[in-house]
Chain A
Amino acid sequence: MSARPPRRSATFAPVYLVRHAQVLIASLGRLYRNPMSTLMTAAVIGIALALPATLLVALNNLQRLSGGWNGAASISVFLKQTVSDGQAADLASRVGAWAGVGSVRTITRDQALAEFRRLSGFGKALDALDSNPLPAVLVVKPARQNDPAAVQALLLKLRQLPQTSMAQLDLQWVKRLAAIMAIGRRGVLVVAALLGLAVLLVVGNTIRLDIQNRRREIEVAKLIGATDAFIRRPFLYSGAWYGLFGGVAAWLLVSMALWATGGPVQQLALLYQSQFRLIAADAGTVLTLLVGGALLGLLGSWLAVGRHLAAIEPS
């Protein structure tokens, strides 16, 4: 007779894994047999996870939107009135060959007039003019948008062209928006941390109740030689399942929120002549939700199990 733990044999790992898999499935079955309480817990966790996730998706969309503008934050070179469309096209091809220039688009004087007529609603007033007051414009996209020094140098170079009347780069507001979004991102992190803590508490409390309900079972198991790890295992897996289901619920909630706001956002975008559409949470965000949820659940149940299992001893 021996009161020592058994030696780990060569066959240990597969048996160990099989046992873990059994407990994993068994804990899932236990949740399945109590569908109402499982759904409620998953819903609470889901709502807690959905809030930061929704904010994050909203921020990602905002960034994409401003990213679109960032791309359009090219340098507008307004040429002198005396420059003809032909000369403008000539200049465009020359500028396009410069190092540091991504692309050049020419807006001829007629195109500029047509666009202005369409957008401004001053069609009648324009008709009253006998000549086109608008200059040709070169829209120059810097090759390296993220390098402010290079963009600035390009701007100076364009300003020094004899044909240039005015060249302007308006990145200021894009920078401000980026700064605001950085704050938003930080805010999402804070909210996520707080709600993550809430998830820990929710799972911890659920597992605590679970432990209380199964107190007798735990006592009996301890009496007939169950190790702490054996007793802990189903509770840990339950916690992970709760977290995973919460993650799935959060994903559904975020998708529903996007679906609900998608129509109005598109209408708003149309008002701004934008083809912008909300994009759903990307795979990375979904994976983070699911894995993060499961890990939070595991951690929450770990904390609860550590505190409450030791208190149960057979007498």
Chain B
Amino acid sequence: MIRFDNVSKRYPGGHEALRGVSFHIPRGQMAFVTGHSGAGKSTLLKLIPLIERASHGQVVIGGHNLAKIGRRRIPYLRRQIGIIFQNHQLLFDRTVFDNVALPLVISGLRHQEIGRRVRAALGKVGLLERERAYPITLSGGEQQRVGIARAVVHKPPVLLADEPTGNLDPELSREIMGLFEQFSQVGVTVLVASHDIALISSLGHRLLSLRNGQLVAGEASARATA
């Protein structure tokens, strides 16, 4: 589902964030990208929804070579990917419902269908009773769950999360990771960037370790034990 083939990324300033990274995550697998800050975790994730483009090598998502996707087709690629951000990226002038509904509005779904799916997604993350609330009134953990609901509401085959538990206490973090595991069990390919080694090694999923932009462990599809 997610295939990196000898991928390098060099930023305009000359900084080389990724060097010759190759791996493949099959459909429905859940994997972690880990490494120190600056090791290239975020860059790796950004290449998948074409927030950044690879300088060398190939990124293939669901059989599509991203190098061949032009600017105008990027939105349609991104609709196939749910993204969860460390800082949530919620819109604070809209209710929880409207935040979660945004991907469906963008896809042009009908009103009734949007209501049904948003409530299903909010129910999944346990925030059904907060749909009329504004994000600012929610706790950090709740905001993150709203972000997750928004990322999965349109049922994307790929789910990316960049430090989703960065600001959360261990118990909440474990809860969030549990949600991701549920999604991968229904066939969603999940890739989570995290430096919380203690938490992710306890979960026992595949681990891609980056150091200075190079993959030092986890190339093979086998489950790693960091």
Contact = CB atoms under 8 A, between A and B. Distances in A.
A99 interface: no
Interface residues of A, number: 25
A16 B107 CA distance: 11
Nearest to A11: B110
Contact of B106 (A2, A219, A230): A230
B144 to A, nearest CB: 15
B45 to A, nearest CB: 12
A226 interface: yes
Given A216-B91, A217-B91, A2 B76 contact: yes
A314 to B, nearest CB: 6
Interface in A185-221: 216-217, 219-221
A1 B157 contact: yes
Interface stretch (B62-70, B175-183, B205-213): B62-70
A91 B138 CA distance: 99
Interface in A90-132: none
Given A223-B51, A223-B78, A225-B106, A4 B73 contact: yes
B79 A225 contact: yes
A3 B51 contact: no
Interface residues of B, number: 28
A226 B106 contact: yes
Nearest to A6: B76
B64 A1 contact: yes
A223 B49 contact: yes
Contacts of A220: 89-91, 102
Contact of A221 (B49, B69, B83, B102): B102
Contact of A1 (B72, B80, B91, B102): B80
Contacts of A260: none
Contacts of B150: 224
B224 interface: no
B76 A3 contact: yes
B78 A224 contact: yes
A224 B61 CA distance: 16
A1 B79 CA distance: 10
B166 interface: no
Nearest to A224: B103
Closest 3 CB pairs of A and B: A1-B62, A225-B79, A225-B78
30 contacts: A1-B62, A1-B157, A1-B158, A2-B80, A3-B61, A3-B77, A3-B80, A4-B73, A15-B110, A217-B91, A220-B90, A220-B102, A221-B102, A221-B106, A222-B75, A222-B78, A223-B49, A223-B78, A223-B89, A224-B79, A224-B83, A224-B102, A224-B103, A225-B78, A225-B106, A225-B107, A226-B106, A230-B75, A230-B106, A313-B51
